[in-house]
């Protein structure tokens, strides 16, 4: 990351709300690509996540960082160029037992910008809710996020439940989240794995061949 992006990422990890928002506005005024700014913010979230893992930050810090992140994204949204609509419909959600939504929200945002219709089921989404969404919305793709090793197992359970209900072959499935890997996606029978929000959009595009 160049120095300006590093400054933004560090400001977010240090919970400096005013500095983050001012820096975002300044970068937008300079014509910097909004997607690059979002990526720097994501790096900041990664930083504070690692600080938490090392015992250098608390749950309250993560909550504050997430709030600053959301405010920054709201500033960026009007500057994002939305490409043509009608590329496909994606139902997305964080799996049951997991209430993390930063990664899921980023993927949803990037998909919308890329022209996909996104139906966000939120967090703590059960197999029943995913199944109901397939029947109700007839999506092209289902996206499942999990941010903990304990909840990533629910990605597998949801796919198994969709198979039982005869719904699995109606959709493509992409999974993601910090503890997941491409090998995990293959193991549970998903069609793809997204390493981050940008990769997820690329994989959805590949899955739909559009």
pLDDT of residue 210: 60
- Closest CA relative to residue 122, chosen from 148, 158, 92: 92
Q: Are 100 and 72 in contact (CB under 8 A)?
A: no
* Residue with token string 């992140």: 69
The residue whose two tokens read 């930050």 is: 57
Structural domains of the chain, ranges and CATH numbers in brackets: 3-79 (1.10.1240.10), 89-208 (3.40.50.280)
pLDDT in tens, 151-205: 999 999 999 999 999 999 999 999 999 899 999 999 999 999 999 888 999 999 9
- With 0.95 as the threshold, say if the pTM is over it: no
């Amino acid at each position: 990351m160049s120095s300006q992006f590093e400054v933004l990422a560090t400001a977010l990890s240090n919970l400096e709300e005013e500095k983050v928002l001012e820096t975002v506005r300044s970068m937008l005024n300079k014509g910097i690509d909004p997607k690059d700014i979002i990526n720097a913010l994501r790096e900041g979230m990664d930083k504070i996540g690692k600080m938490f893992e090392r015992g250098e930050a608390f749950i309250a810090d993560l909550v504050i960082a997430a709030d600053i992140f959301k405010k920054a994204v709201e500033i960026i949204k009007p500057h994002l160029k939305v490409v043509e609509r009608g590329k496909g419909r994606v139902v997305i959600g964080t799996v049951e037992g997991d209430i993390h939504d930063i990664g899921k929200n980023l993927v949803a945002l990037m998909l919308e910008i890329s022209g996909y219709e996104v139906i966000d089921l939120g967090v703590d989404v059960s197999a029943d809710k995913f199944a109901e969404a397939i029947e109700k919305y007839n999506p092209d793709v289902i996206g499942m996020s999990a941010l903990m090793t304990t909840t990533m197992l629910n990605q597998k359970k949801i796919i198994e439940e969709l198979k039982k209900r005869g719904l699995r072959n109606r959709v493509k499935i992409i999974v993601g989240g910090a503890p997941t890997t491409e090998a995990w996606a293959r193991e549970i029978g998903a069609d793809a794995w997204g390493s981050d929000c940008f990769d997820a959009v690329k994989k959805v595009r590949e899955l739909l061949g559009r």
